[in-house]
Chain A
Amino acid sequence: MPPSAERESQLLHAFLELADILVDDYDVAEVLQQLVERCVELLDAAAAGLLLSDQRGGLQMMASSSERARLLELFQLQSNEGPCLEAFRSGEPVTVADLSTEVERWPSFAPEAVREGFRSVHAVPLRLRRQTLGALNLFGSEPGQLDEQDMRVARALADAATIGILQDRAIRRGEVLTEQLQNALNSRITIEQAKGILAHAGGLEMDQAFELLRNHSRRNRARLGELAHQLATGTLHPDELLAARQ
């Protein structure tokens, strides 16, 4: 670990970098990968992994600083036990100074971790108020605990990531529903245009034109909006509907 003043500067740099990424257009997966790599650089950790909920109650491996860490995270998921899962489920940090003593607690995970060369673990939940999104796992190759400051830094980094993830989800959810509304509104306009097209081509009143459109949509199992769009863009000729009248 680098000496104190240099470390302070590196910490500051890491936070600024994270903040910069988060206020701009960002890719969540990239942010999380940055996060785990920074953890290994700045903290007394040999490897780091991150699990994220898939919003249906399951967890997914999202980022890891090394292949060994990745396999260990996957192993936790498969064996349904481990510090990351506990941190996620409880919403509280989980710290173990020596994994070799936790075989009863995690009969599959603990021995596997030790086999992979990891002796200690500190798992931080990704949490905002009552919502826990996942967990960040920091593995050490020696027995022992992270010092107070490192634990605080880990939590701060996890908090920043949590905010970034939630913001990204909120924006995307908003975008999807707003897009749906916009599409519905555009569809409404196209349907009026289609009525006009049929009215002119067939010498109809608007109500009759709409009837024609609706009947054709039912008979051919075509969506009203899609049909209207085809008429409005000339892909479908009004005569095709007018000719099919009984």
Chain B
Amino acid sequence: MHFVLLVHGASPAAGVAIRLHDPSDATTLRRVDGGLTITDGPFAELPEPITGFERIEAADLDAAIAVAARHPAAAAGTVEVREIRADSAADDEPAPTPAPGTRRYLFLHTNPTDRTALARTADEPPSDWFTSEHTRRAVLEGERLRPAGATTAATVRLRDGDALIAHGPYAELAEEVAGYDLVAVVDLDEAIALARPHPTLVVGAIEIRPLWTT
């Protein structure tokens, strides 16, 4: 099975595969009254902002939790474990390498936790975002996550050598992270243009977070 580790707090995120810039460097897109609204900041002000990201393989949720508990970030912050959907978009094609002159961003897709709001997406025609040439060139990898529940998600903290584990979502919020894309584009405007037609925006938001370049 595949899981995503979202590192909260622990800034700069210690030992994490993908380190993100500060949440104040984030930009969030929403669709309001048919038009695109761009705002400064993350999709929500979390008590511990998301600072890092990693993708792992594990036999099951408990195994993933064990990996998270050993992660350096667990001692400094909180590691959120989320299961990737088995039917997620990942295919067998090798991931494209970032084109020269591009910088990488993480798209965090959010969905409302309120199921009735989410149901509005059922009537939307299928989007060609996933098959467009532009997407193929710019998106390095991307996955959809299972909604956070007791059997699909957990939060892990390491305090004084004790692993504090809670099953379920990171917090009770109006929106949760529902998927991600790692993209390589020239600048923020291109990232926004890439995200603009994505179906997430029917009911959710897309947070665009720049990666630390080392």
The answer on A and B forming one complex is no
